[in-house]
C-alpha cells in the first residue's frame, strides 16, 4: 500500500488568501484522476481517501516506481506530494507502515517537508507478497431502491452509511481497507478471507444501516487482476441473486 | 440545487465487458473536476455526491445555463448526463425537486433516457431565492490529532464518521445538504440557521464520533459569495479557538 | 484579442534540471485545453499559438473577465500566466496591442514579472467592436488525398505548408490572424473581407503549396457566433463543391 | 514510430450538427496530453502532428503495449483511436509502415473501421533497433529577438516558418521526422547523423527563414534517454554560444 500526501496542503489552500473552493475541488479531483491513471497503468488500484491523503494498492511493483508519480505531480500541478510505501501481511498494517514513513519525516504541514519518499516493510513471509484479495461490493438493486426512488440527498447518505459501516467492520475485524468508489460500489483490499467473513460483513451492514450488499471476491498477484475477478464475480451475483461469489465457491454459492 | 446524473452508467461500466476500475475512477474524477470548474465559473459550488450522481449549488443562475454542461460532457466524455434543477426553500427540498425531474423521465439505467433536462420549482417566496447559507466545517487540529498521528486508514474513517454524523443530523434537523470536500472539511448548504443550530450540530458530532468540529458560516447571493465568507470565518476559528463564527456574531463568539 | 503568456516558462522548464519533455508537452496541452474551455464558455475562440504564448479571441467580453483565467491557472498548474488584452480594428493590431502590454511590463523570462494583466485599446470606431469575421478553411478531400494515401509525415508537412502560406498571406494582405486547429483545418480571424479576398488567398495557397483549400465565412458579435456560421458554410462547400461560401453570397456562390 | 489516428473524427465533429469549436480544441489537446503522458511513462516521445493523427516514438517497447492506450481512450473519451506501429531504419520509413497499416485497414472516415491495431516491420538490422537519435533545436535568443520584441502574431509565424523549413529539409535529406514542441523548440527524430548534417540543416533554415537555430543532439535506447542528452547538450549551447552540441563533439564544438 502506498500513501500519497499533498505537502503542506492546508497552508497552501489559504495562502496568500483562501483559494476558491471549486478550484480546490477540481485540483483534488484531477490529482486523484492522475493517481488512478498512473496506478492503473501498473495494474494497481487507487482510492481517493481524503483527497489530500490518497491511497494506492500496488502489489508486485517496485516501490521506487512511485517516484515517477512524484515527478509527474511536480511537473504538472501547483503542489508536490510525499509518498510512503508500506508492505505487511494486512492492508491496514501496510498502510500503517506507509503512514509512519511520512509521519517520521515531519508534519504534513511543515514547510520544510517536501517530496518525502519512504519505504517500509513489516515482517512479511515471502509468499504473502505475491497475492492480494479484492472484494467488490455493491448495493442490491441500488437503482430501483435508491436512485430512481428517493431524494438524491438521501440516496447518498444511505450509501455512505453502508460504506462506513462496512469499512469500519472490515478494518476492525480483518485489518482491511475498504473505500467508496462511486455509485453504490465499495472496494475492499483484504487478507485472504473466507466466505463466512464476507457473510458476516454483509450481515453487519444490513443490521447497522438496513442496506443489503452483495460482493464479488477475487485474488491475484495485482489489485487489477484480483479486482477484475471480483467484478466478474459480482456480475454473477447481479444475474443470479447470489450474495457472495468468488471465494469458497461451493459454500458461498449454495 | 442541480442534480447531474450520468446516463445509463451502470450498464456502460460493464459493456461490452467490465471496464478497468482505474479508468472508471479517473473518468468519474475528471467529470467531477469538470463540473466543479463549470459551476465555479458561475460562482456556484459542486459536490461529487456518489460521482454518478453529482450535486451543484447554483443560486442566482439561469437554470438553462446547465445545458452548457450537458454539451461539454457530450463533446468531451464517453458518457452523457441528465440534469435536474430544483428550487425550493430548503436545500433538501430543492434537491428533491431536482431528483423528481429525473426520476419522472425514466430510470437512470434506461437506455432510452438520455440527456434529460428538467427544472422544477416548489412554492418559493421571492426573497428566499436570493440568499444561500454555506457552513464550512473542519476538524479542530486535524493535522496534529489525525494526519500526523494515526494510521491513514483510521484517519479517513474518523473523518468519514464525523462527516456522516454531521450530514445526517443536518439533513434531519434542518433539511440541509452537507458533503465532504477533502482533507477534514465538510461544507453544508443550509437554510438561514442561527448559532444555536450549529452548536447543536457540533455537539451531536462530538457525542456520536468523538470528533471536535469548528465551523465558519457565510450568507450571500451565491454559494461562492457565502462560501468565501464562511472560509474567512473558519480562518478566524482556527486562529482564535472559537468554535462557531460568522452567524449571530455576538452570541456565537462569546 | 488576448495574449496569454506563461511567466518565466523557459527557465522553469530547466530548473532545477531539464524537466521531462513529455511532462512539458502534457502541461502545455492541458493549459491550452483549459484556455479553450474557458474561452469557449464565453463564446470566444482560442489558438494554441506557440503554447507558451496562446491567443484568445474574446469579442464582446469584459477584458477583466480574463483575470479569472489567471486565477484558475494559479490554482491548478505549476506555472502562472500573464494576460494582455488588445482591441483594435484589425486582429493583428489588436494582438499587437496585447503583446505590447506584456512587453512593456518586462521580459517573458524576468523573474519579477508575474501575472501581469494589461488592457490596451487602439483608436477604434464604436461599430467595429461589435462584429468579428471568422473564416474556417480546410483542404478539399484531405482524407482521400492525404490521410488515406500518403505517409503521415508528409501529410502533416503538406497541411503545415498550406497553413503557413495561408497565415502569412492573410497577415500581410489583411492584418488577419490564422491558425491551425487540427486535422486539415485552419481558422482565421479577419476584418470584414469580401469573397475576392478569400479567392485570392486560396489561389495563393494553391500556387505556393499545391494544396486546394475551401472556406466558409461567418460574421457575428462573438467568435463563436461567427465561427458557427463559418462552419455551416464550410459544410455547404463540402457538399456542393463550392470553394468559398458565406460572404457576398451571390458573387461567391456563382 | 506509432501513428495514432482518431477514428471517423471528421464525421464525428459535425454529427449530428457541427460541434462547438472550442470543445473540439479541448478534446484534441486533452487527447494529446493523454498520449504524451502515456508515452512518457514508457520513456518515449509524442508529437501532436495534426491532432487527429498523432505520432509517438516508442523505441524499445513492445508494440502490443500501445493497445493499453486504445483502451484508455475508449474508456475516457467520446472517440476511439486506431494505432499503427512501424519499425524501420529511418523514422520516415517507420512512420510510413505505421501509416500503411492503418490505410490498409480502410479509410480514416469509414464507419466500420474502428480501433484498428497493426504492426509492421521493414527490413531492419538488429542493431538498428536499439538506438534512436533525438535532436532538440531552438531559436537563438528567441525571447530577446521575438517574444519580447515583435507582435505575437509575427513571432508565431517566424517560429512556424523556421519549423517548417527545418522539418521539410530533414525529411527530404535525412528521412527524419521533426515537430514543433512549443515555444521556439523543435524536436527531430533522426537516423545517426553527423555534425555536418546538422550544420547544413541550421544553414538551410537561416537562409530560408532568416532564423538562427541551435541544436543539442543525443543518442540512446529510448527517445527519453536520447532526448534528455539532447536537452542537456542544448543547455550547453545556450550557455556557450555553440550552435551544435552532442555529436562528433570535437568537430562540432570547435
Q: Cβ–Cβ of A71/C20 closer than 8 Å?
A: yes
Task: Select the residue from A35, A41, A73, A76 to test the D interface by mutation, using most D Cβ atoms within 10 A.
Answer: A41
Q: What pLDDT is stored for residue A122 in this prediction?
A: 83
Residue bearing the bigger pLDDT, C139 or A144: C139
Q: Provide φ and ψ at D14, rounded to 5°.
A: -120, 15
Residues of chain A with C-beta less than 8 angstroms from the C-beta of C74: 78
Q: Give tens-digit pLDDT for B55-91.
A: 999 988 888 889 999 999 999 999 999 999 999 999 9
Q: What pLDDT is stored for residue D121 in this prediction?
A: 86
Contacts (Cβ under 8 Å, ≥6 apart) of B38? B46, B68, B69, B72, C41
Return the residue matching grid coordinates 472517440.
D79
The arithmetic mean of pLDDT across residues D149-161, rounded, is 95
Matching fold, domains A2-122 and A132-245: yes
Q: What pLDDT is stored for residue D60 in this prediction?
A: 81
The pTM is what? 0.92
Residues of chain D with C-beta less than 8 angstroms from the C-beta of C162: none
Exposed/middle/buried for residue A111 (C-beta within 10 Å: 0-12, 13-18, 19+): exposed
The chains in contact with chain A, meaning 3 or more Cβ pairs closer than 8 Å, are: B, C, D
**Does the structural domain B132-245 have CATH classification 1.10.468.10?**
no
Q: Give tens-digit pLDDT for D8-66.
A: 999 999 888 889 999 999 999 999 999 999 999 899 999 999 999 999 999 888 888 89
For chain A, the structural domain boundaries read 2-122, 132-245
D251 confidence band (pLDDT: 50, 70, 90):
very low
Task: Select the residue from A94, A151, A159, A234 to test the B interface by mutation, using most B Cβ atoms within 10 A.
Answer: A151
| Mean pLDDT value across chain A | 92
Q: Give tens-digit pLDDT for D74-93.
A: 999 999 999 999 999 999 99
A123 confidence band (pLDDT: 50, 70, 90):
confident
Task: Select the residue from C39, C104, C139, C151 to test the D interface by mutation, using most D Cβ atoms within 10 A.
Answer: C151
The chains in contact with chain C, meaning 3 or more Cβ pairs closer than 8 Å, are: A, B, D
For residue A78, give how far its alpha carbon lies from the nearest alpha carbon of chain D (Å). 17
* Separation CA B124–CA D246 (nearest Å): 73
Task: Give CATH for domain A2-122.
Answer: 3.30.70.1230
Determine what percent of chain D is predicted with pLDDT higher than 70.
95
Q: What pLDDT is stored for residue D92 in this prediction?
A: 96
Given a contact cutoff of 8 angstroms between Cβ atoms, the answer to whether A246 and A216 are in contact is yes
Q: What pLDDT is stored for residue D250 in this prediction?
A: 36
Q: Cβ–Cβ of A187/B21 closer than 8 Å?
A: yes
Q: Cβ–Cβ of B77/D72 closer than 8 Å?
A: no
| Mean pLDDT value across chain D | 92
A250 confidence band (pLDDT: 50, 70, 90):
very low
Q: What pLDDT is stored for residue D169 in this prediction?
A: 98
The chains in contact with chain B, meaning 3 or more Cβ pairs closer than 8 Å, are: A, C, D
For residue B128, give how far its alpha carbon lies from the nearest alpha carbon of chain C (Å). 29
Q: Scan residues 118-177 of C and list those with Cβ closer than 8 Å to D.
A: 143-144, 147-157, 159-161, 163-164, 167-168, 171, 177
The arithmetic mean of pLDDT across residues B181-191, rounded, is 96
The arithmetic mean of pLDDT across residues D148-166, rounded, is 95
Return the residue matching grid coordinates 483565467.
C69
* Separation CA A235–CA A241 (nearest Å): 10
Is residue A64 predicted with pLDDT exceeding 90? no
The reply to whether B68 touches chain C by the CB within 8 Å rule is yes
For residue C65, give how far its alpha carbon lies from the nearest alpha carbon of chain B (Å). 10
SS3 C41: helix
Look up the ipTM and state it.
0.94
For residue C212, give how far its alpha carbon lies from the nearest alpha carbon of chain D (Å). 17
For residue A71, give how far its alpha carbon lies from the nearest alpha carbon of chain C (Å). 9
Identity of the residue in A27, A74, A76 whose CB atom sits nearest the CB atom of C75: A27
**Lowest-confidence segment of B7-16, B131-140, C47-56 by average pLDDT:** B7-16
pLDDT one digit per residue (tens) for chain C, 254 residues:
999 999 999 999 988 888 999 999 999 999 999 999 999 989 999 999 999 999 999 988 888 889 999 999 999 999 999 999 999 999 999 999 999 999 999 998 888 889 999 999 887 666 656 789 999 999 999 988 899 999 999 999 999 999 999 999 999 999 999 999 999 999 999 999 999 999 999 999 999 999 999 999 999 999 999 999 999 999 999 999 999 998 754 334 43
Residues of chain A with C-beta less than 8 angstroms from the C-beta of C81: none
Q: Give tens-digit pLDDT for B157-171.
A: 999 999 999 999 999
Q: Give tens-digit pLDDT for B115-129.
A: 999 999 887 666 656
DSSP string, chain B: -EEEEETTHHHHHTSSSPPPHHHHHHHHHHHHHHHHHHHHHTT-EEE-TTSSEEEEE-TTS-GGGGHHHHHHHHHHSSS-EEEEEEE-SSHHHHHHHHHHHHHHT--TT-TT--S-EEEEE-S--GGGGG-EEEEEEEETTHIIIIITTS-HHHHHHHHHHHHHHHHHHHHHHH--EEEE-STTEEEEEESS--HHHHHHHHHHHHHHH---EEEEEEEESSHHHHHHHHHHHHHHHHHH--SEESSSHHHHH-
The arithmetic mean of pLDDT across residues A113-125, rounded, is 87
Q: Cβ–Cβ of A25/B18 closer than 8 Å?
A: no
Torsion, Cα of A105, A106, A107, A109 (10° steps): -90
Q: Cβ–Cβ of B37/C72 closer than 8 Å?
A: yes
Smallest CA–CA distance from D65 into chain A, residue: A41
> B193 is written with which cell numbers?
440557521
Size of interface C-D (CB pairs under 8 A): 222
* Rounded alpha-carbon distances, angstroms, from residue D95 to A223, B56, D45, D99: 36, 47, 14, 6
Amino acid at each position: 500500500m502506498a500513501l500519497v500526501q499533498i505537502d503542506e496542503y492546508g497552508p497552501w489552500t489559504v495562502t496568500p488568501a483562501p483559494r476558491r473552493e471549486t478550484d480546490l475541488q477540481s485540483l483534488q479531483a484531477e490529482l486523484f484522476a492522475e493517481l488512478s491513471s498512473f496506478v492503473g497503468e501498473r495494474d494497481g488500484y487507487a482510492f481517493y481517501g481524503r483527497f489530500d491523503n490518497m491511497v494506492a494498492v500496488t502489489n508486485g511493483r517496485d516501490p521506487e516506481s512511485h517516484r515517477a508519480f512524484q515527478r509527474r505531480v511536480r511537473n504538472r500541478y501547483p503542489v508536490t506530494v510525499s509518498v510512503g510505501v508500506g508492505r505487511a501481511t494486512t492492508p491496514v498494517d501496510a498502510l500503517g507502515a506507509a503512514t509512519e514513513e511520512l509521519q517520521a519525516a515531519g508534519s504534513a504541514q511543515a514547510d520544510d517537508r517536501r517530496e518525502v519518499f519512504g519505504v517500509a516493510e513489516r515482517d512479511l513471509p515471502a509468499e504473502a507478497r505475491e497475492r492480494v484479495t479484492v472484494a467488490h461490493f455493491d448495493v442490491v438493486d441500488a437503482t430501483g431502491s435508491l436512485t430512481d426512488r428517493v431524494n438524491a440527498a438521501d440516496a447518498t447518505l444511505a450509501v455512505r452509511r453502508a460504506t462506513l459501516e462496512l469499512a469500519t467492520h472490515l478494518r476492525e475485524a480483518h485489518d482491511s481497507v475498504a473505500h467508496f468508489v462511486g455509485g453504490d460500489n465499495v472496494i475492499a483490499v483484504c487478507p485472504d478471507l473466507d466466505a463466512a467473513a464476507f457473510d458476516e460483513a454483509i450481515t453487519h451492514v444490513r443490521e447497522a444501516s438496513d442496506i443489503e450488499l452483495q460482493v464479488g471476491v477475487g485474488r491475484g498477484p495485482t489489485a487489477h487482476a484480483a479486482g477484475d475477478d471480483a467484478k466478474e464475480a459480482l456480475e454473477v451475483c447481479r444475474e443470479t441473486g447470489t450474495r457472495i461469489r468468488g471465494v469458497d465457491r461451493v459454500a458461498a454459492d449454495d
